[in-house]
Every structure is written in C-alpha cells, then in structure tokens.
Amino acid sequence: MAISLALTRSPWPVALVYGVDLVGAASGCLVVLVVMTLMDSVSALFLVGALGALAAVFFAQAQRAVNQVEPPLLGIARLRILKRPLILAVTITCSR
C-alpha cells in the first residue's frame, strides 16, 4: 500500500522511486541480519516497532508540510504518549 502511494503520488519519476525502494529493502535485509546477531528477537521486535513509529512521525511531518493535516482515525492515536515514539521506545526498553 505504501509503495503504491509513493509511486502514484510522488513528483519524481517512477523508476527513481522504485529504485530507491529496492535499495531500502535490500539494506533492510542486511540490517536484519546484523540486528538478529546482536540482540534477541523480543528486543529486535521493539526496535522494529520504534522504527515504524519514527517512520509514522516523518510521514506526519511531511503531510503537515503540504498542509493536508487530518485528524487521526483511531482514538488510540490521540494519546499523548504515542505522540512521542522515542519516549515510548525508551520507556519500554528501560523497563526491561
């Protein structure tokens, strides 16, 4: 879904967007090998969740830059702690 949106809504050529996506996927595969070597699977899962939350923050900032601000569709997305994913990730990691 994200790739189709990136390909159809991007001002850049489709080949460039798709090429960057492929490079990101390949580097993600290599990073997974390193992460799974350095930490256990539960910690890796929290890391992936934190990275996903960080990506959501970047997408939200990009949307605000284009002045297309929309309210969150889910009520849980309005919680204050979820507005700061780094604090949430550190809290979960440190409580372990």
Give pLDDT tens digits for 20-54: 889 999 999 999 999 999 999 899 999 989 988 98
User: How far apart, in Å, are the Cα atoms of 63 and each of 4, 60, 68, 69, 84?
Assistant: 17, 5, 6, 6, 17
Provide the residue count of the chain.
96
67-80 pLDDT per residue, tens? 655 565 555 555 65
